[in-house]
Amino acid sequence: MRKLSLVAMIGLFLPAALCAQAPASGGAASAPAASGAGRVAVVDLQKAITENAEGKKAQEQFMAAFNKKQQEFDTKQKALAEAQTKLQSGDKAMSETAKADLAKSIDKMNTELQRMNDDAQKELPDLQQTLFKPIAEKTQEVLKAYSTENGFAVVFDVSSQASSIIYVQDVADITTEIIRRVDAAPPRPASAATPAKSTPAAPAAPAIKK
């Protein structure tokens, strides 16, 4: 019998599509020449989204939901393991009918575990999107305004897997200031999860490990 386990890639964990819903900067045209157009900065956009006050609360909500599902999965997994051990031990006191019934019960629990995992794969990314989308949009707006104010022609997102930046001076990193400004700005209203077509191929939600 194969053993299943519910695991999560929590690192964080924000889908790339969520961080890339809008350009990280206002674009080269938004930087006024008088303020030094052509300046470049970098931002850890994922950190800016998740480490402001609202982002930390969203993380707590997401982890509470994840931990609840993890606990339910572990309970079912433990029951399955106990049933498998009982069947494999070949208890002489069990009749053939009882063994057959236990085997059916094991198959049922395996199916239930798979279904629990499938549900988690859908529900957790949807919850994540609902929690973080308004924060991501707010962060993008703050970043755009700050970039325009300071004449940044380009702002690179160093949290992106596609980033090829290998050296950055501390003075060029505006992440801390963006977080400060996000905290100072009024919160955006919560929004519904985006359609399934926008969900990234590699979610940070749970996956089955065989």
pLDDT tens by residue, 85-102: 988 886 667 888 888 999
Domain region containing 138: 14-185
Nearby residues of 153 by Cβ (< 8 Å), 6 or more positions away: 25, 28, 31, 37, 38, 39, 40
Has residue 193 been placed in a domain? Answer: no
User: What 3-state class would DSSP assign to 118?
Assistant: helix
Has residue 200 been placed in a domain? Answer: no
Has residue 50 been placed in a domain? Answer: yes
Residues of the chain under the 70 pLDDT cut? 1-37, 90-92, 189-210
Q: Identify the pLDDT of residue 16.
A: 56
Has residue 202 been placed in a domain? Answer: no
Phi-psi region of 13 (alpha: psi -120 to 50; beta: other; left: phi over 0): left
Has residue 62 been placed in a domain? Answer: yes
Element spanning 86, H or E: helix 53-88
Q: Identify the pLDDT of residue 132.
A: 94
Q: What is the pLDDT of residues 152-186, one digit of tens each?
A: 999 999 988 777 888 888 889 999 999 999 999 98
Has residue 194 been placed in a domain? Answer: no
DSSP-assigned beta bridge partners for residue 173:
42
Has residue 207 been placed in a domain? Answer: no
Q: Identify the pLDDT of residue 194.
A: 45
Instruction: Indicate the pTM of the whole model.
Output: 0.71
Has residue 114 been placed in a domain? Answer: yes
Q: How far apart are CA 199 and CA 169, in angstroms?
A: 34
- Indicate the number of domains in the chain: 1
